[in-house]
Each structure stands twice: as C-alpha cells, then as structure tokens.
C-alpha cells in the first residue's frame, strides 16, 4: 500500500463516528475484547466486530487471540501517517528542553 493509500484508509476508518468511538475506547484501554467494547455501546457485537476489522485493516489496531477471546489494542504506529510532524516535534522539543537544562547548568552553575 502506498503512503497516500495508507492515509486515506486511516481517514476513512476514523471518519465514521461509531468506529471512531470504538477506536478511542481501544486506545483508552491496554487491551479490550469485543464483548467489553459492545457493553454499553448501543451497537451489536457483530457491528463492533466489523468496525474492528476495518480499524485493523487500516493498521490502527492489533489483535491477540487467547483462548476463546481476542484482545484488541491500539497500534501505536497507526496514526503515524497523519501526525508525523507533530509527533516528531513532540519528541524533538522534549529532548531539546532537556539539552537546554544541561547547557544552562554548564554556563550558569
């Protein structure tokens, strides 16, 4: 898949409000099952499964089968095509603040 295709897959996956809500709940938990996601969602388990399938295809969630359950978790790299500049500078400035603190200690002990 090309980068542009990846971006549109991610955007398509998140454009649907229900699917976005499912994704945010997955992001908000370490790992979560379809049953837990269905509880209180007002949507059927089949619908949740469909949303998860699309989120997985878009690279936004990963799954781990264990016994009779499948656990879903957010794929940290999933949103990378969309937020790269922001995540780049998030890390960049945090590191530079640390450098600045060290430099200040050197020139003004």
Partner 1 sequence: MNDVALKSGTQDIVFDEVFPHAPETIWRTLTTGELIGRWLLMSPTGFEPVEGKRFTFQTTPAGAWDGIIDCQVLEVMPNERLAYAWEGGHEGNVGYGSRLDTVVTWTLSRVENGTRLRLVHSGFVLPKNDAAFKNMSDGWKQVVRKLDTIAAEQDSAKPLH
Q: How many CB atoms lie within 10 A of CB 22?
A: 28
Q: Does 1 engage in binding with partner 1 (CB under 8 A)?
A: no
Residue window 69-108: x/- pattern of binding to partner 1, with contact defined by CB under 8 A: -----x-x--xxxxxxxxxxxxx-xx-xx-xxxxxx--xx
| Pairing of β 61-66 and β 32-33 | unpaired
Shortest Å, Cβ 70 to partner 1: 21
Is the CB of residue 16 less than 8 Å from the CB of residue 55?
A: no
Q: In 16-44, which ranges are continuous DSSP H helix?
A: 17-28, 34-38
CB of 40 to partner 1, least distance (A): 18
For the bound state, the minimum distance from the C-beta of residue 16 to partner 1, rounded and expressed in Å, comes to 8
Q: Is 58 in contact with 1 (CB distance < 8 Å)?
A: no
Residues lying near partner 1 in the complex (CB under 8 A)? 3-4, 7-8, 11, 14-15, 17, 20-21, 23-24, 27-28, 74, 76, 79-91, 93-94, 96-97, 99-104, 107-108
């Amino acid at each position: 898949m090309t980068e542009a295709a990846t971006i549109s897959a991610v955007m398509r996956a998140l454009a649907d409000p229900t699917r976005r809500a499912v994704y945010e709940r997955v992001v908000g938990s370490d790992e979560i099952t379809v049953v837990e996601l269905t509880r209180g969602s007002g949507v059927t388990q089949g619908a949740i499964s469909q949303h998860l399938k699309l989120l997985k295809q878009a690279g936004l969630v990963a799954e781990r089968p264990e016994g009779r359950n499948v656990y879903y978790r957010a794929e940290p790299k999933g949103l990378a095509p969309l937020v790269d500049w922001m995540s780049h500078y998030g890390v960049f400035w945090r590191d530079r603040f640390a450098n600045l603190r060290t430099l200040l200690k050197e020139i003004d002990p």
